[in-house]
Structure formats: C-alpha cells, structure tokens
C-alpha cells in the first residue's frame, strides 16, 4: 500500500515572499507571493511544498479548499508526521 499524507494548510496569498511561517491553529501556515487568481496560488503552494520536501510536484495536490485559504493537501510518499515535520523545519521568521 502506498504512503500518502493529508495535511491541513492555511495559505496567505500575495505575501511579500514565499515562506512557511509555522502553525495556524491545526494547519501549517504558508505565505505565497502568488495572487489567488487563476489557480496561481495553488500552483505556487504545490511547488513550494514539493521543493521543501524534495519531491516531484506531481506527488503534491490540493484535494480540498481550492478556492479557500484553508486547504487539505495530499502528498504521496510520506506520512503526515514526516510531511508536517519537514515543512515546519523549513519555518522562516517573517
């Protein structure tokens, strides 16, 4: 059986820079420079997560909340704990 993580993400679009900030309630708080128009923020989110986890973009997908700040992202090849820890270890001070 393939490993697949589902993690909650809180996205802040149109930020001054891409950054993983920390936790926002039960979700990982991520700032994205892209605007929430024409799926640009979702694409930037997928790219940032894939880059931080060192995996291909095709392994990351938004499965819920495509037009919302609160999203659920599915990531192939890692557990929820591994994905969350890897993202939070990339936290940057804003």
Segments forming the whole domain that contains residue 72: 4-89
**Domains: count for the chain:** 1
Of the candidates 85, 86, 76, 84, the residue with the CA atom closest to the CA atom of residue 1: 76
Pairing of strands 27-31, 70-76: unpaired
pLDDT computed for residue 60 by the predictor:
96
Please indicate, yes or no, if residue 23 is contained in any of the structural domains. Answer: yes
Please indicate, yes or no, if residue 94 is contained in any of the structural domains. Answer: no
Please indicate, yes or no, if residue 48 is contained in any of the structural domains. Answer: yes
Please indicate, yes or no, if residue 74 is contained in any of the structural domains. Answer: yes
Please indicate, yes or no, if residue 85 is contained in any of the structural domains. Answer: yes
CB count, 10 Å around CB of 23?
Answer: 13
pLDDT computed for residue 92 by the predictor:
62
pTM above 0.85, yes or no: yes
Cα 92 from Cα 74, distance rounded (Å): 23
pLDDT computed for residue 3 by the predictor:
87
Q: What is the CATH number of the domain that holds 60?
A: 3.30.1200.10
Beta bridge partners of 74: 6, 61
Q: What is the pLDDT along the chain (94 residues), one digit of tens a residue?
A: 578 999 999 999 999 999 999 999 999 999 999 999 999 999 999 999 999 999 999 999 999 999 999 999 999 999 999 999 999 986 665 5
pLDDT computed for residue 54 by the predictor:
92
């Amino acid at each position: 059986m393939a490993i697949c993580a589902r993690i909650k993400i809180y996205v802040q679009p149109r930020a001054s820079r891409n950054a993983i900030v920390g936790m926002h309630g039960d979700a990982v708080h991520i700032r994205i420079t892209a605007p929430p128009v024409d799926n640009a923020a979702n694409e930037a989110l997928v790219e940032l997560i894939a880059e931080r986890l060192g995996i291909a973009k095709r392994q990351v997908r938004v499965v819920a909340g495509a037009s919302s700040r609160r999203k659920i992202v599915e990531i192939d090849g890692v557990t929820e704990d591994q994905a969350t820890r890897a993202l939070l270890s990339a936290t940057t001070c804003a």
